[in-house]
Amino acid sequence: MTIEATGKALAPSDIASRKGGEPIVCLTAYTTPVANLADRHCDVVLVGDSVGMVVHGLPSTLGVTLEMMILHGRAVRRGLTRALMVVDMPFGSYEESPEQAFRSASRVMAETGCAAVKLEGGARMASTIGFLTARGIPVMAHVGLTPQAVNTLGGYKVQGRGAASDRVMNDAVAVAEAGAFSVVLEKIPEPTARAITQQITIPTIGIGASPACDGQILVIDDMLGLFTTFRPKFAKRYAELGSDAVRAVAAYAQEVRERRFPADEHVFADASASATGGGAA
């Protein structure tokens, strides 16, 4: 099933042209209503594989499937008119070979209507990025902390400290030279992220990186405070919707138990009462 994009949306080339210019605003989205909210203010909406943890309760992103990404990608597409839509390639769908990556990415684009895909990995993925871009698939790269490699990285640790900064720099340079139109820098020391941004020719999108990056991205649930206990250092909370929701659910439960909800204004009168002017319609 191919979904046609509606309206005039930003293209990968529009994002690439913002290098060194107005900061690029990015957020994740997994549903139509949230995509619609983000579309009003964001340049890029990412259907992240974080959906596995945020929506499906998985312990990591490793259990996310191509079918899950397509399902949520379709939902997000329906909520967007302006923002560039990017879909994460899930673990196991692109690492085997450039040909496997092309089959997976072309399916994602055809079935969701997204304009680009995102994949994790630096120098080791450069040939795959080049293969995809040469065949009409725009790629957003992702270096530093790459959650799909959490088992080999030893956890969700900051990447690129000390001597390891050269490795992260080399990864960023490699994906830029391979043809990625932008790159996410995740959990990288600020000086390293700043140096990468200054050196490479494509926009950098920071998450736990540097204010010097060409743009910033957060998981929208983190930014809105939908989780009452999980507070990553790099995610500023602009609301506390989780706490508000807890209070709302508690108030609802109390009113139901006390038979205060539903009240008269929430129920319907029968036809005869309506005809005589009594009760709600």
- Which residues belong to the annotated binding site for 3-methyl-2-oxobutanoate? 49-50, 88, 118
**Secondary structure letter of residue 62 according to DSSP:** G
Instruction: Assign 233 to helix, strand or coil.
Output: coil
Instruction: Assign 247 to helix, strand or coil.
Output: helix
Concerning whether 96 is annotated as a catalytic residue, the answer is: no
Nearest to 12 by CA among 140, 119, 183, 200: 140
List residues forming the annotated binding site.
49-50, 88, 118, 120
Give 194-219 as a DSSP string: HHHHHHSSS-EEEESS-TTSSEEEE-
Measured between alpha carbons, how far is 24 from 169 in angstroms, rounded to an integer? 21
- 96, 99, 111, 186: which is the annotated catalytic residue? 186
What are the respective helix, strand and coil percentages of the chain, to the nearest 5? 45, 15, 45
List residues forming the annotated binding site for Mg(2+).
49, 88, 120
Measured between alpha carbons, how far is 48 from 37 in angstroms, rounded to an integer? 16
> How big is the CA angle at 60 (ends 57 and 63), to the nearest 5 degrees?
85
Catalytic residue numbers, as ranges: 186
